Amino acid sequence: MKHEAFPLPLDATPADAQTVEKLRRLLEQERRARRDAEAIAERGLRELYESQVRLALLQRITDFANQSNDFGAVLDMALKEICVHMGWDFANAIRVAEGGREAVACNTWYAADPKRLFPFVEVSREFTVPRGEGLPGRVLRDDHPHWIDDIADEAWFHRRREALQAKLLSACAFPISVGEEMVAIIEFFSSKPMVDKDNILLTITQAGTQVGRVIERERARAALLHDALHDAMTGLPNRVLLDERCRAAFQHLPADRTGLAIMVIDLDGFKAINDKYGHHAGDALLVDVTGRFEAAIVAFQQSSGRAGHATLARVGGDEFVVLLDGLPDPEAAERLAALLHDVLRAPTQVDNDLVNAGASIGIAYSGPVYDDVEQIRRDADLAMYEAKGEGSGRTVTFTDALGTEARNRMALERELREAIRDKQFVLFYQPIFALGGDRRLMGYEALIRWQHPTRGLIDPGAFLPAAEESGLIVFIGDWVLRQACTALARLHARMPKGSGEPPFISINIAPQQFLQPSFAQQIQRVLAETGVPPDCVRLEVTEGVAIIDADRTRQVLEEIRDWGVRTSLDDFGTGYSSLSYLQNLPFDTLKIDRSFVASIDDPKSRNIVRAILDLAGSLNLSVVAEGIESQDQGRTLIEMGCEYGQGFHLGVPLDEKAAFALVDERRAA
Amino acid sequence: MKGVIFNLLEDAVSAEHGAEAWADLLDLAALDGSYFSLGSYPDAELLAIVDHASIMLAAPPAQILRWFGQRAIPLLAERFPPLFGHHKSARSFILSVNDMIHPEVRKLYAGAACPRFHFHDTDDGRLAMAYQSRRQLCHLAHGFIDGAAAHYGEAITVDHLACTHHGDPVCRLALGWHG
């Protein structure tokens, strides 16, 4: 703006004119300086104002976003706040769907004047556009904001007619991204021009970041939840999620509680593969097996239209569970089990070897007898153990009989624990004699009995299998060992010195007990504590220990024999009776099984006994015949050259007092 | 009243009547006349200047204010081009006063007491504009409308349907477009 020169008085001199002109220039300079200063101040004030208002807006959105876990609610709030802040008419949220191929309006919108905008809201709140089409489609395609300055000019804009009806003029749309991924688009419409685009861009981009954080948190939470409910290695549901699904499925059963089955799957030989090839191989096997099981389940569900719903879960090291609900027929679970066995037939490559992992499967069906799903789980578990007992690759479906048997076994197991705790076991001693000549008493075999509080004295055959199965045999075996040695020490103590060769004690050792890593030390400790001469202790083992781990069996036998302890191979002739065991394992004695003695009248049995005696002779082993029940049997064995024997005919098992009294009788005789 | 209004008035007066005229008006009104655009000054100072201009030019203050409004528009367009550039017509420009122009004013001049206008279409197709302010500067608004019409090359007649100067509770202006 130019200002007119001040008019000069008529009598002004040229010098006056010059002075006025100078002052005019100075004034003009000052005026310009002031204008510049004002412009700078205005710019600063405008920026300050805008950033304050923007920050206040962002603060509101951020606060809300931080308090809410609901992406929809946060979007809703942000749309409204931005619209009001900008003085715009309409805002709308569109979710990115189909992996970024589509933009889907999600009925989240704000309208300043809903009545006027009604037709536009109607076409905007729910629609789907492919990538590249319409305003949100373009944002999705280009991953940057889009602007429309005059909707009337943009024929490509789908909702143009309705927008113009609503007197909308301008629009803009922005992506909301989480990391690299666009998750939503927000679009805004105004009946006025959108002027300050830099400011709008800055504001909405920052607001979008805050809104995106909700999704980020939503995803982090979902990931945590997923991790908490799934097995990390296979990605399958874990025990927690399975429990939840089981409970939910059980609750939805009809009144007769049919239609659900639980299948417990245990991989056979997994531990051996893990031990042999290492954990990485075991893990790879589990992942491979998981893939096969999943494929089998898909095939199962496709095989019939109404195959129900199946959840495969990994609940332990090598244990899987399938929850089947909505079962079409009573045999469906067995069909799936057969498919699962099938898919395991092809070997898995582990390192450079091919290994086979079979499975044992137990199935239990729901029914009116069940009060909760846990009981079904337990029964399926029980059936699985039953299947495992039958060998690899079996399926067993739970039945009431199985349940009764298992319950009895469990009750027995419980009683055995009480028996160990309350010291209800007693040892009986059966004398072992030299068969020839004076029938000298050589020693005793310690035999366990259970002094049951209500059922009286129980023979070992009635409880040792259960003890072995439950692992309690280890505790019982330790007790027998210590008890027998202590008793022998008492016997030795009351025998006068120089009264001849002291009797030995023969103690049965169960395979599980023998294979305890600390077994040899345990023997050593008992010997030291009881003070019995090691050569008066005979440990009887069966071939079973050698079958499980021949190398270790040999090492242990050698170690305890080094201390002078004697070793017997029990029940010889009944199992594999492998000659290689006899050759490789250090035994002192063979015990001929009672079954050969009982049928010794049969020439076949006699031949076997003779062969055993020959074998023992050539390997320099002594022989004890078990179960001699008649004079004839004893005589036949003597004739065949069997040195030692035990049995009812010679002496029944007796309690300690009666058994050890025999020593005195002998001496007295 | 914001200093920028005084600056605009000074520019308008100086352009039309010479720099001396502004100095004379200040002298007559006994004002020191240093107005900084972002500063705030008593409304009475503006009214005093208008009154003295009215005496000097032998014209009613309403006419002075209308003249000022008319002349201020090109000066404003020079200072704040974006406020004008985004509109293609005077109608759109006038309608943006509440939502765009005054918000911009408030950004620069914290606490500026901007009036609010209410617009509606009248039955005869004109645009009615209601105005209520203790400053009663409806004639200045009239002048702004004249200036906007000139800026966009349009012809607008403004009828004062009601006026607070005549005891009405609000001022209502009817804007009619021609051609």
What is the tens place of the pLDDT at every residue in A137-175? 999 999 999 999 999 999 999 999 999 999 999 999 999
Residue range(s) occupied by CATH 3.30.450.40 in chain A? 70-227
Residue range(s) occupied by CATH 3.20.20.450 in chain A? 416-587+641-668
pLDDT for A498 equals: 75
A497, pLDDT greater than 80: no
Whether residues A41 and B106 touch (CB distance < 8 A) is answered with no
A7 touches chain B (CB under 8 A): yes
Q: Which residues of A touch B36 (CB under 8 A)?
A: 34, 38
Is A324 in contact with A309 (CB distance < 8 Å)?
A: yes
B38 vs A2, A3, A42: nearest CB: A42
How close is the nearest chain A Cα to the Cα of B7, in Å?
A: 10
Is A559 in contact with A586 (CB distance < 8 Å)?
A: no
Is A262 in contact with A324 (CB distance < 8 Å)?
A: yes
pLDDT for A8 equals: 75
How close is the nearest chain B Cα to the Cα of A227, in Å?
A: 51
Q: Could you write out the DSSP letters of every residue in A155-215?
A: TT-TTHHHHHHTT--EEEEEEEEETTEEEEEEEEEESS----HHHHHHHHHHHHHHHHHHH
Mean pLDDT of the region A98-126: 92
Digit-coded pLDDT (tens) for A241-268: 999 999 999 999 998 888 999 999 999 8
A374 touches chain B (CB under 8 A): no
What are the beta bridge partners of residue B154? none
**Minimal CA–CA distance to A473: which of A406, A556, A413, A547?**
A413
A192 touches chain B (CB under 8 A): yes
A106, pLDDT greater than 70: yes
DSSP 8-state symbol, A100: G
**What is the chain A residue with the closest CA to B92?**
A192
pLDDT band, very low/low/confident/very high, at A305 (cuts 50, 70, 90): low
DSSP 8-state symbol, A624: E
Q: Which residues of B touch A192 (CB under 8 A)?
A: 96, 99-100
A1 vs B11, B82, B96: nearest CB: B11
Residues 6+ apart with CB under 8 A from A640: A606, A609, A610, A613
**Minimal CA–CA distance to A521: which of A479, A563, A493, A475?**
A563
CATH of A416-587+641-668, one of 2.40.110.10, 3.40.50.300, 3.20.20.450, 3.90.105.10: 3.20.20.450
Mean pLDDT of the region A74-96: 93
Q: Which residues of B touch A41 (CB under 8 A)?
A: 38
Whether residues A42 and B110 touch (CB distance < 8 A) is answered with no
Q: Which two tokens stand for residue A577?
A: 């009776």
Q: How many CB atoms lie within 10 A of CB A579?
A: 10
A198 touches chain B (CB under 8 A): no
Q: Which residues of B touch A34 (CB under 8 A)?
A: 36
A70-227: CATH topology is Beta-Lactamase (3.30.450)
Is A311 in contact with A237 (CB distance < 8 Å)?
A: yes
pLDDT band, very low/low/confident/very high, at A668 (cuts 50, 70, 90): low
CA distances from A125 to A102, A184, A616, B60, B99 (A): 15, 14, 95, 56, 26
pLDDT for A557 equals: 93
A354 burial via Cβ count (<10 Å: 0-12, 13-18, 19+): exposed
- Name the residue with tokens 């190398």: A551
Mean pLDDT of the region A102-122: 92
How close is the nearest chain B Cα to the Cα of A176, in Å?
A: 27
Q: Which residues of B touch A1 (CB under 8 A)?
A: 11, 14-15, 75, 78
Q: Which residues of B touch A5 (CB under 8 A)?
A: 19
A1 vs B15, B38, B108: nearest CB: B15
A10 touches chain B (CB under 8 A): no
Digit-coded pLDDT (tens) for B52-67: 999 989 999 999 999 9
How close is the nearest chain A Cα to the Cα of B163, in Å?
A: 29
Q: Please calculate the CA angle A161-A166-A172 and round it to the nearest 5 degrees.
A: 80
pLDDT band, very low/low/confident/very high, at A68 (cuts 50, 70, 90): confident
Whether residues A38 and B11 touch (CB distance < 8 A) is answered with no
Is A92 in contact with A62 (CB distance < 8 Å)?
A: no
pLDDT band, very low/low/confident/very high, at A306 (cuts 50, 70, 90): low
How close is the nearest chain A Cα to the Cα of B108, in Å?
A: 5
Whether residues B107 and A195 touch (CB distance < 8 A) is answered with no
Contacts 24+ apart (CB under 8 A), A555-564: A556/A514, A556/A519, A556/A520, A557/A585, A557/A586, A557/A587, A558/A586, A559/A520, A560/A520, A560/A523, A560/A524, A561/A586, A561/A588, A563/A523, A563/A524, A563/A527, A563/A534, A564/A533, A564/A534, A564/A535
Whether residues B19 and A5 touch (CB distance < 8 A) is answered with yes
CA distances from A423 to A65, A461, A476 (A): 67, 19, 10
Q: What is the pTM of this model?
A: 0.51
**CA–CA separation, B126 and A487 (whole Å):** 124
pLDDT for A577 equals: 65
pLDDT band, very low/low/confident/very high, at A379 (cuts 50, 70, 90): very high
User: Higher pLDDT residue, B107 or B72?
Assistant: B72
> Distance from first CA to last CA of chain B, Å, rounded?
37
**Is the Cα dihedral A390, A393, A399, A403 positive or negative?**
positive
Whether residues A87 and B87 touch (CB distance < 8 A) is answered with no
**CA–CA separation, A142 and A173 (whole Å):** 12
Q: How many CB atoms lie within 10 A of CB A290?
A: 18
Q: Which residues of A touch B107 (CB under 8 A)?
A: 45-46, 49-50
**What is the chain B residue with the closest CA to A33?**
B36
Digit-coded pLDDT (tens) for A605-664: 899 899 999 989 998 999 999 999 999 999 999 999 999 999 999 999 999 999 989 887
| Residues in chain B whose Cβ is within 8 Å of chain A | 11, 14-15, 18-20, 36-38, 75, 78, 82, 86-87, 96, 99-100, 103-104, 106-110
**CA–CA separation, B83 and B91 (whole Å):** 13
**CA–CA separation, A614 and A636 (whole Å):** 15
A6 vs B19, B38, B109: nearest CB: B19
Q: Could you write out the DSSP letters of every residue in A487-552?
A: HHHHHHHHSPTTSSSPPEEEEE--HHHHTSTTHHHHHHHHHHHH---GGGEEEEE-HHHHHH-HHH
A45 touches chain B (CB under 8 A): yes
Whether residues A195 and B20 touch (CB distance < 8 A) is answered with no
How close is the nearest chain A Cα to the Cα of B133, in Å?
A: 23
Residue A626's identity, in one-letter code, is E
3-state secondary structure of A379: helix
A3, pLDDT greater than 70: no
3-state secondary structure of A5: coil
Digit-coded pLDDT (tens) for A170-199: 999 999 998 889 999 999 999 988 888 988
pLDDT for A551 equals: 85
**Is the Cα dihedral A427, A430, A434, A438 positive or negative?**
positive
pLDDT for A491 equals: 92
**Minimal CA–CA distance to A321: which of A395, A377, A385, A283?**
A377
Provide φ and ψ at A605, rounded to 5°: -60, -40
A461 touches chain B (CB under 8 A): no
Largest CA distance in chain A: 174
Residues 6+ apart with CB under 8 A from A480: A425, A427, A446, A448, A507, A508
Whether residues B14 and A1 touch (CB distance < 8 A) is answered with yes
A308, pLDDT greater than 80: no
State percent of chain B over pLDDT 70: 99
Residues 6+ apart with CB under 8 A from A98: none
**CA–CA separation, A574 and A592 (whole Å):** 9
Provide φ and ψ at A309, rounded to 5°: -115, 135
Whether residues B38 and A45 touch (CB distance < 8 A) is answered with yes
Mean pLDDT of the region A284-292: 93
A571, pLDDT greater than 90: no
B87-179: CATH topology is H-NOX domain (3.90.1520)
What are the beta bridge partners of residue A589? A568, A622
pLDDT for A507 equals: 97
Q: Which residues of B touch A3 (CB under 8 A)?
A: 14-15, 19
Domain definitions of chain B by residue range: 87-179
Mean pLDDT of the region A421-445: 92
Q: Which residues of A touch B15 (CB under 8 A)?
A: 1-4
- Name the residue with tokens 């010997």: A527
A595, pLDDT greater than 80: yes
Digit-coded pLDDT (tens) for A515-567: 888 999 999 999 999 999 999 999 999 887 777 778 888 999 999 999 999 99
Whether residues B37 and A195 touch (CB distance < 8 A) is answered with no
Q: How does the average pLDDT of chain B come out, rounded?
A: 90
pLDDT band, very low/low/confident/very high, at A1 (cuts 50, 70, 90): very low
How close is the nearest chain B Cα to the Cα of A1, in Å?
A: 7
3-state secondary structure of A376: helix
Mean pLDDT of the region B113-129: 88
Q: Which residues of B touch A167 (CB under 8 A)?
A: none
Mean pLDDT of the region A32-47: 90
State percent of chain A over pLDDT 90: 61
pLDDT for A2 equals: 45
Digit-coded pLDDT (tens) for A393-405: 899 999 999 888 8
3-state secondary structure of A458: strand
Q: How many CB pairs under 8 A join A and B?
A: 54
Whether residues B87 and A193 touch (CB distance < 8 A) is answered with yes
pLDDT band, very low/low/confident/very high, at A669 (cuts 50, 70, 90): low
A239-398: CATH topology is Alpha-Beta Plaits (3.30.70)
Q: Which residues of B touch A6 (CB under 8 A)?
A: 18-20
CA distances from A476 to A419, A509, A524, B167 (A): 9, 10, 18, 115
Pairing of strands A622-625, A589-592: parallel
CA distances from A341 to A237, A290, A297, A390 (A): 21, 13, 12, 15
Mean pLDDT of the region A356-363: 91
A134 burial via Cβ count (<10 Å: 0-12, 13-18, 19+): buried
Q: Which residues of B touch A87 (CB under 8 A)?
A: 99-100, 103
Whether residues A195 and B86 touch (CB distance < 8 A) is answered with yes
3-state secondary structure of A402: helix
A580 burial via Cβ count (<10 Å: 0-12, 13-18, 19+): exposed
pLDDT band, very low/low/confident/very high, at B122 (cuts 50, 70, 90): confident
